[in-house]
A and B are shown apart, each in its own frame.
Chain A
Amino acid sequence: MYAQLVETGVKRVKSLEEMTPEERAFQERIDAEIKIEPKNWMPDAYRQTLIRQISQHAHSEIVGMLPEGNWVTRAPTLKRKLQLMAKIQDEAGHGMYLYSAMETLGADRDEEIEKLHAGKAKYSSIFNYPTLNWADMGAVGWLVDGAAIVNQVVLQRTSYGPYSRAMIRICKEESFHQRQGYEILLTMMRHGNQAQKDMVQDAINRLWWPALMMFGPSDADSPNSAQSMAWKIKRMSNDDLRQRFIDQTVPQLEFLGCTAPDPDLKWNEERGHYDFGQINWQEFYDVLKGNGPCNRERIATRRKALEDGKWVREAAVAHAAKRQQKQNAA
């Protein structure tokens, strides 16, 4: 999940009886699975929640370019380099697509990016972990994009039309990246030497738990979920999505011939699901608060790019104005 903790500002979900006529008409539209479109009336809290969620999602795409960008100059073969470049390019495109969806809600892209750089807006905690060996490029594709897809597939049915349509487009490209990521790991495990196999296991050991954290806090600690579910912004709970991800990922892990860094992970015949160990929620909240391994570096990089590029953007604006002036004079 690329937006893992979104405040709704709502303490308790209202019943239909408690709603104003406008709110009730809105909720009935939601309940009838009719998409909300930009010009439709919507509760302010719905609008704000979506702005927070979609911008968080967009920020994640952009910050998410950095851990992979870290290896793009060092990719080991031409094929892998090309794949990684294509993936990063897609991510920039996803970011732009999501910012556009967010802007249909009346938010401003530059203002939201400003909040990100000021540390006021979140992005996915996963991108605060460093990429330390080449196998991380496979593991990020497989586990991180995999977790994102599990979330995004469900978000294709989210109640806000522009967000839902963004998810449909993005999912197509993400699934491709996920398969490529898995293939990177599979190649290293099947055809690699011992050092390469060790890289794969090491990447999984480091990214396994952070990937599970991408689904957000457990349902018991998700005060915002009830309202998001009632608005059908969210369609499944954090824990259900996390379980779905684990159930589909463990067989892939076994097929690789690798293990998860979780001694409690085992198939539960009775539940028909994998049981798994306790997530380190202290780490999760620390990373989300800005105290993860790379939080400072990630934000500093984005801030520097924006600051260093200021004169370039100003030049583009000035040139466009000059051109317009010439056109008007002609």
Chain B
Amino acid sequence: MTDNKNDLIEYLLRLGDNAMINGQRLCEWCGHAPALEEEMALMNVALDLVGQARNWYEYAAELLADGRDADQLAFTRDERDFRNTLLVEQPNGDYAVTTAKLFLFDAWHLHTLQALSASKDERIAAIAAKALKEATYHLRRSGEWVERLGDGTEESRQRMLAAIDELWRFTGDLLAGDAIQQRLATAGIAADAEAVASAWQATVEQVFGAASLPVPQPASYFYLDGKRGLHTEHLGILLAEMQFLQRAYPGATW
């Protein structure tokens, strides 16, 4: 494992940051959802995701062993250090954008966690096995909403099409692997990016098919890369809000 330690830390931060930033965006919905049931569901999903982020961060913090704990990883790193995929940092938009964002991520998340549940790293396998149960619920929920909105009224269909059009370009970043992930996958620790991408494609085709939504052509590379800390301009502002108390009162106990 020592050979892979730096790779592993990077990979854990990606998993943690994806869950964290996605959860943070969902928190913004609090009090603004289209129905009470959705208030509950969105906060429920957010709660799952932030809980998962904490688990990944805790493991990363142990490996880092530089005195930082899970909270410091979440609240004191800057945007160039965040490793989340570009998709999850996108603004919530209307309910179609949020739904499409969640669905595209959930499909990737589910297949990733399925693979990670069989990781040779026992800690990863255990965290993934727990998260997988939650992600299964998330995907069922967001998939059903893609169907409802895609095959609901003319307005909801138009909004869904617009949302997919807006977000699809970020799926290239979502699905792309890199050398770090490849090395870890070869060692049986991380998910194989290509395998996840093809499972993701199948899930998207199935749900879009049921919603009678066209599946766009694969997204091309975007010249930004969340995994390397090259983000859109949305992340910095999100972090300014999320991290404000830890930044204003460094080292305080809450």
- Which positions in A face B, CB cutoff 8 Å? 62, 65-66, 68-69, 72-82, 85-86, 88-89, 92-93, 95-96, 99, 134, 184, 187-188, 191-193, 195-196, 301-302, 304-306, 308-316, 318-319, 322
B148 at the interface (CB under 8 A from A): yes
Let me know if A89 and B40 touch, CB within 8 A. Answer: yes
Q: In the bound complex, do residue A65 and residue B47 qualify as a contact, i.e. CB atoms below 8 Å apart? A: no
Taking a contact as CB atoms under 8 Å apart, the answer to whether B50 and A96 are in contact is no
Please measure, in the bound complex, the distance between the C-alpha atom of A316 and the C-alpha atom of B76, giving whole angstroms: 41
Return the chain A residue nearest B25 by Cβ.
A73
B74 at the interface (CB under 8 A from A): yes
Q: Is the interface of B mostly helix, strand, loop or mixed?
A: helix
Question: How far apart are the CA atoms of A92 and B33 in the complex, in Å?
Answer: 11
With CB as the reference atom, state the residue of chain B lying closest to A298. Answer: B31
The yes or no answer to B155 lying at the interface (CB within 8 A) is yes
Whether B28 contacts A311 by the Cβ 8 Å rule is no
**Smallest Cβ distance from B87 to chain A, in angstroms?**
19
B residues in contact with A66, CB < 8 Å: 30-31
Residue of B nearest to A304 (CB): B32
Q: Which of B51-59, B123-131, B181-189 contacts A (4 or more CB under 8 A)?
A: B51-59
Q: Interface range on chain B: under 10, 10 to 19, 20 to 34, or 35 or more?
A: 35 or more
Give chain A residues whose Cβ lies under 8 Å from the Cβ of B36.
62, 92, 95-96, 99
Q: Do residues B27 and A93 form an inter-chain contact, with CB atoms below 8 A? A: no
Q: Tell me which of A88, A95, A311 contacts B159 (CB under 8 A).
A: A311
Q: A65-B30, A92-B36 are in contact. Are A312 and B156 (CB under 8 A)?
A: yes
Residue of A89, A134, A309, A310 with most chain B CB atoms under a 10 A cut-off: A89
Assess the A134–B152 pair: CB atoms within 8 A: no
Cα separation A318 to B51 with both chains bound (whole Å): 35
11 residue pairs A–B, Cβ–Cβ below 8 Å: A73-B28, A74-B241, A78-B70, A82-B54, A88-B43, A92-B43, A93-B40, A95-B36, A196-B249, A308-B94, A309-B34
